[in-house]
Amino acid sequence: MQAGLLACMTTPAQGNVLPPGALYACDNGRFGKSWPGEPAWFAWLKATVDRYGPDRCLWAVAPDVPMDATATLAESLP
């Protein structure tokens, strides 16, 4: 990760600390059982980007509803 060959995937429930300089992506944990709810998700996402920097963040998974495209669109639009 520090060499830039592999990025780190993190979720709110993991509590991971990223290696210095590593690129990262933010999963919402919704598919499993670790979805913290929308307010906590956005707070965690902001704190993660503030801590590690937006320039190192490859992408973030929008809030979704697994197996329900219509509900995912409604959930993720905000």
- Which single residue is written with the structure tokens 């704190």? 47
Structural domain contains residue 57: yes
Q: Is 4 domain-assigned?
A: no
Domain, as residue range, for 74 = 28-78
> Has residue 8 been placed in a domain?
no
**Overall domain count for the chain:** 1
From first to last of its 78 residues, the chain has per-residue pLDDT tens of 888 889 999 998 888 889 999 999 999 888 877 788 889 999 999 999 999 999 999 999 988 888 899 998 998 887
